[in-house]
Amino acid sequence: MGKHIKTKIDYDMIDQLAREVARLDPANAVLQKFASMDNYEGGELRKSIADVVPSKEFGVLCTDCRG
């Protein structure tokens, strides 16, 4: 298998999805598992979700839900 090179849209999609999950379920086991990785992706994910304000409000996107 060859290496997959991520594009900007890939990183944006991962970031936005992670913020949505963090907003709706900050204790999500899968999100915490990926955020605890000791590599570049784990670090970026931690930065991405660090200041998301948890909210159970559905129908509101988290495109700008940072603290």
Range of the domain at 30: 8-49
> HEC states along 1-67?
CCCCCCCHHHHHHHHHHHHHHHHHCCCCHHHHHHHCCCCHHHHHHHHHHCCECCCCCCCCCCCCCEC
pTM of the model: 0.76
pLDDT in tens, 15-34: 999 999 999 999 999 999 99
Q: Is residue 30 part of a domain?
A: yes
Q: Is residue 64 part of a domain?
A: no
Q: Is residue 54 part of a domain?
A: no
Task: Give CA torsion, residues 24, 36, 11, 3, to 10 deg.
Answer: -140
Total number of domains in the chain: 1
Q: Is residue 18 part of a domain?
A: yes
Binned at pLDDT 50, 70 and 90, residue 57 comes out as: confident
Q: Is residue 57 part of a domain?
A: no
Q: Is residue 56 part of a domain?
A: no
Amino acid sitting at position 24: L
